[in-house]
Each structure stands twice: as C-alpha cells, then as structure tokens.
Amino acid sequence: MSVRVEAVPCLSDNYLWLLKDGPTGAVAVCDPGEAAPAIAAVEEAGGRLDLILLTHHHGDHVAGVAELKARFPAARVVGAAMDAHRLPKLDQSVAEGDSVAFGAARAGVLHLPGHTSGHIAFHFAPDHILLCGDIVFALGCGRPLEDGGTEQLYASLRRIARLPPNTRLCCGHEYTESNARFALSIDPENKALRAEAEAAGALRAAGRPTVPTTLAQEMAANPFLRARDLEEFRARREAKNHFR
C-alpha cells in the first residue's frame, strides 16, 4: 500500500479527501468544497499539492478549487470530460477507463452516473481506495438529481458492489447518523446495521468522522446496496426522500 487517505471536514457536513503517495511524497486533494481547510491540510502534509481530483460539479465539491490552484499553481485539476462545461477549468479531462497519475500510483476512473450524469469516481485499486463523491455514503446513497438518475444510480451501485470487499469508500458527506435512522426503519433486525449505527453514534460523539466505510460493511448494512432489484431500490430511494 502506497497511498494514504484522510478525511478532512469542510463546510457543514462535507468531506474533502487528502491523499499522500508514500514513495514520492506527492499530495492530492479530492473534492475541495472549501479552500481554507484544504490549504491547511496540504500545508500540514508538507506544503506541496500535485493534484486536485473532482468527482462532480456541485459547489460543495468544487468551490475551493480556484483558491487552491492560486495557492498551488503546479496542482493539476482533473474531472470528467463530459462535465467540463460545468466544472472549474480542467488540466486533464477524463472518462470511464482512463487513469490519472499520482506520484508512483495511478487512479482508475469509473463513470458512475446517478447523482449527476457526469459523476465519476477515482479508484486506487492496489490501495483499496475509492473516492466516490456523492454516489454512495455510509448506510446511504446519493440523491438522483438528473433525468434517468434512479436507474443510473442503481447500476452504479451494482458496479461498486462488485469491487473487492475491503475497498474503502471515501464519500463526500457525513450523513451516517441520519442515514442510520432511515436504514433501521427498513431493516430493524440487521445486526451489522445496528452495529454500524452504534459505532457511528460513538464516533460522532467523539467528534470523529464515520468514514471511510468499507464495501464489506456496506454490503452487510446499507439498504441501497442491499436492495434486491431496481424496484426495491426505487421504493427505498423514494421513501428516503420523505423520511423524517
């Protein structure tokens, strides 16, 4: 394992992700929704920034890019080619199957539409890291916001489900406790879910992030990854929108 990853809280409930490549000392951030915490994290990691990875165009994932780029002009900004018109200016536009160099490592690009049509994820396969933005959360999943989103989101979750179980899902938000309340309403007897919900409560009480989660944990507990088919997924996604 050469790439290390760390959640950095920003805005009210977002995470940006700080990555460091061990062999080369290269540093990357993913989804800087706010510049100040990203800059502080980069300074603490040694003051060098090589790469800015963007999963999708929403402001809470990209608003810090301009200031970061001004501060660290050598950083390359990487995002989806099909969303180039609504992303900050890209130095590298990518699509499904492309790869992004990061120090001695490489991230594979997965096109995982559903939350938005152009949403991508970055997969550091040898390090079992998936930077998955707003597609899947601990005990939850993103909201389909564009045409065809529900079907696309379901297909994207099926793809994630086939990754190795020890994949760490580095998602964009701290939604675990509220996701747990909904998940428990669907699947109250699920022991893995109850354990994850309890662990999340303890972590939050201690002021710590509940993510990354692992795919194995989510396959056992996440009602969206556990939906039997598209219809069940659709019903759960719809119910979650109205759940209080």
Measured from the CB atom, the residue of 20 and 61 that comes closer to Zn ion is 61
**Which of the following is catalytic: 21, 56, 119, 128?**
56
Q: Residue 121 and residue 156: Cα distance in Å, rounded?
A: 10
Measured CA to CA in angstroms, residue 50 lies from 19, 186, 204, 237, 242 at distances of 10, 43, 31, 37, 42
Selected catalytic residue, list 50, 57, 58, 111: 58
Minimum CB distance to Zn ion smaller for 55 or for 213: 55
Catalytic site residue from 115, 119, 123, 128: 115
Q: Does 196 bind Fe ion (CB under 5 A)?
A: no
Please, which residue, 190 or 222, has the CB nearer to Fe ion?
222
Residue number, 58 or 123, with CB nearest to Zn ion:
58
Which residue, 3 or 10, is less far from Fe ion as judged by CB? 10
User: Given the rule CB under 5 A, which residues bind Zn ion?
Assistant: 58, 134
Contact criterion met (CB below 8 Å) for 110 and 120: yes
Name the catalytic one among 50, 83, 127, 134.
Answer: 134
Site string for Fe ion, 150-189 (x = CB under 5 A): ----------------------x-----------------
CB atoms within 10 A of CB 53: 28
Helical spans, DSSP H, in the chain: 35-44, 59-62, 65-71, 149-161, 176-186, 191-205, 215-221, 230-242
Specify the pairing of strand 51-53 against strand 27-30.
parallel
Active site residue 58: yes
Residue 60 annotated in active site: yes
Measured between alpha carbons, how far is 48 from 68 in angstroms, rounded to an integer?
11
CB of 229 to Zn ion, least distance (A): 26
Clarify whether 119 is annotated catalytic.
no
Question: Tokens representing 216?
Answer: 């194995």
Q: How far is the CB of 91 from Zn ion (least distance, A)?
A: 22
Q: Does 60 bind Fe ion (CB under 5 A)?
A: yes
Q: Indicate which residue of 60, 83, 123, 127 is catalytic.
A: 60
- Whole-number Å distance between alpha carbons of 119 and 113: 5
Report the partner that residue 114 touches, choosing among Fe ion, Zn ion, none (CB closer than 5 to 8 A by kind).
none
Per DSSP, which regions of 74-165 are E strands?
Answer: 76-80, 92-94, 99-102, 105-111, 120-124, 129-133, 136-137, 140-141
Q: What are the tokens at 236?
A: 């759960």
Name which of residues 125 to 144 contact Fe ion (CB under 5 A): 134
Q: In what order do the strands lie in the sheet with 27-30?
A: 3-10, 14-21, 27-30, 51-53, 76-80, 92-94
Nearest distance from residue 56's CB to Fe ion, in Å? Answer: 8
Residues found near Fe ion in the complex (CB under 5 A): 60, 134, 172
Known catalytic residues are 56, 58, 60-61, 115, 134, 173
